[in-house]
Structure 1
Amino acid sequence: MCNAVSIAFAVPVAVFEVSRVSGFVEVRYATGDETYLTFSGETENPAAGEVIFADAEGRAQGRGWTNRQSGLSAVRFDF
């Protein structure tokens, strides 16, 4: 649904599984110390100055105006 909204309005939309987010999410520039979990399970550190969606523990939940969703907080459906 969020991808459809993004396409329809040409605006990036971030969706996070809130149970996997610590405290809050803020859009800011990375310091380079944040962690980011890829969908393949690897941990990366966003480059200083990259736009990220960071939570209270310094984890990047989204990168590049949400075009890279974290594997940690991605919404998944268990069928």
Structure 2
Amino acid sequence: MRQLDGYPLVRPHGGWSLLLDTATLGLAPGEASERLFHRGRVAATPMTGWGPSGDRYLRLVFANEPTDRLGDLRERFRAAFG
């Protein structure tokens, strides 16, 4: 969470996922997902189709991610979103 300070995140209340509010960034979830994947080398799932409020979120799952792979997450987000 500290690495992504300043990004429009929805804090998790447990579990292994984190939501990014892509509407705040002026992007659709699918476009944000493409940017993260191609520019930041981060895979994230658009929440489109997960209910009416899902159309603005991107889901990042950390269930099986080694902590050392998360060390440069902020730089990966900057590469994707500037």
Q: TM-score range by the shorter chain?
A: under 0.3
Question: Higher strand proportion, which one?
Answer: 1
TM-score of the two chains, using structure 1 as the length reference: 0.28
TM-score of the two chains, using structure 2 as the length reference: 0.27
